[in-house]
Homo-oligomer: A and B are copies of this chain.
Amino acid sequence: MAETKVDAILPVVLCGGTGTRLWPVSREGMAKQLLPIIGERTLLQMTLDRVAGRGYAAPMVIGSHPVRFTIRDQVEAVAPGARVVIEPERRDTLAAVLLAAAIAEAEDPAQVLAVMPSDHLIRDGGAFDAAIRTATARVRETGIAVIGVKPGEPSSAYGYVRPGAPAGAGAFRVAQFVEKPAEERARRLIFEGCLWNAGIFCFRAGWLMEAARAMLPEAAARIGEAVAAMRPDLGMLVPGAAFARIKPISFDHAFMERTDQAVVVPADFSWSDVGDWNAVWAAAEKDAAGNAVRGPGVVREAHDTLVHSEGRLVCALGVEGLAIIDTPDALLVAPRARAQEVKALVGDLRAAGRPEATEHIRNHRPWGWYQTVDLGDRFRVKRIVVKPGAKLSLQRHHHRAEHWVVVRGTAEVTLDGTVKELHENESIYIAIGAVHRLANPGRIPVEIIEVQTGTYLEEDDIERLEDEFGRL
């Protein structure tokens, strides 16, 4: 096979999903693609790694607003040249794919895109790359290609695609898309040669936008407006307000199932959507007894069990087929076979008003993060980490005083108009009502232990007077 030149291929990574089935690790406030579920890097970073060093263009990442700084930082760490485009509101995948296509079309209608989810696991980068080359070669002029992965088992958690007549080198017309089937049906589909729909699409920017203007004129028009009004913001790109007026619908439903220009490119690589804890177990490295242990876990006479610990000692004794998922503020114990029910459990917890259902204990902010480490009757202790060069808002509190102790790095503290540098092992007192600001003028993160005292210690007791991140 002659090698196809891929320099022109623009990888587009969709990073807007939530993924509550991986609760308590993945929560609404920080979805699974932004977390190191498997390995040291996050799934988003693993996705970016997959298209690095193979001659692709610098990727475009489409993410959502609440986690924009986390996305930006994770992308910068592994793919410095990548663009991060932030959806002002979540609008499902049609809007995200059109957004990428419209941005690319404005630059060069001949640009070929490879759109892929940020939260899937693919072990064989070479086979993935080969499939993308085959698919992009096929759509350089016209049409859209979807990667069809050879099924490993009759999963009822995935959608399937049925290949039809041959349509050029390595491609077949799409005869049918099949939504998540029951296991029996899945068996038959596999027997009939159907493939898993891995949610990876390749097309030429100009072709897709033309097709969208014909088939989905309203969405295409909104996207046009949104891209025309797009502006850079803190190292990211934010489309205009028209984006939020697009009807939320998936790209599969709105476009793929309706076009007659779709082809499927069969591929054979290990693929998982890492959709629940059972999938995580399946994808993880296991010992001889089938146990996968992440973090400080100890298994004794246990079998086929997934242990995920984020710090505490987790001991699984004599259990079989369980998922034990331990985070600083919430624990899940469930049979792997019932991992799909976690979503309903999280729904119950949300209905009961449990904050653990949606929020993580570590709160990411544009300037770094903070986490409550102790909480008493009229006091709260936080660890605060500020990135090099970052600056919190100029602020004051009406109900609490704060004691700061610098435990790492150098902090620049503004207090009632005076600016002072605080080094490791130095402290300062912020009285109730005092106007203050914390910044990191240094080259390493600054870490602070904050002891708050007062009768009301919630986050909403904050009056912001100046802010670099537009949060006034």
Contacts and interface: CB of A to CB of B under 8 A. Distances in A.
B379 A374 contact: no
Contacts of A318: 334-335, 338, 341
Nearest to A298: B349
B338 A317 contact: yes
A407 B378 contact: yes
A322 interface: yes
Interface residues on A, range: 35 or more
A315 interface: yes
B317 A341 contact: yes
A424 interface: yes
A319 B335 contact: yes
Contacts of A129: none
Interface in A41-68: none
Contacts of A352: 298
A460 interface: no
Contact of A453 (B324, B331, B374, B424): B424
A315 B331 contact: yes
B315 A345 contact: yes
Contact of A381 (B301, B331, B338, B373): B373
A253 interface: no
A447 interface: yes
Nearest to A454: B425
Contacts of A373: 373-374, 381
Contact of A451 (B301, B328, B405): B405
Given A341-B318, A407-B378, A313 B331 contact: yes
Nearest to A403: B405
A324 B332 CA distance: 10
Most buried by B among A24, A309, A317, A401: A317
A281 B231 CA distance: 61
Contacts of A381: 373-374, 381, 383, 449
Interface string A363-390: 0000000000110111101010000000
A385 B304 CA distance: 44
A211 to B, nearest CB: 44
A441 B451 CA distance: 23
A83 interface: no
A105 to B, nearest CB: 46
A127 interface: no
9 contacts: A298-B345, A300-B344, A301-B341, A317-B338, A317-B345, A319-B333, A376-B408, A379-B407, A403-B427
Interface of A: 24, 298, 300-301, 309, 312-319, 322, 324, 326, 328-335, 338, 341-342, 344-345, 348-349, 352, 354, 356, 373-374, 376-379, 381, 383, 401, 403, 405, 407-408, 424-425, 427, 429, 447, 449, 451, 453
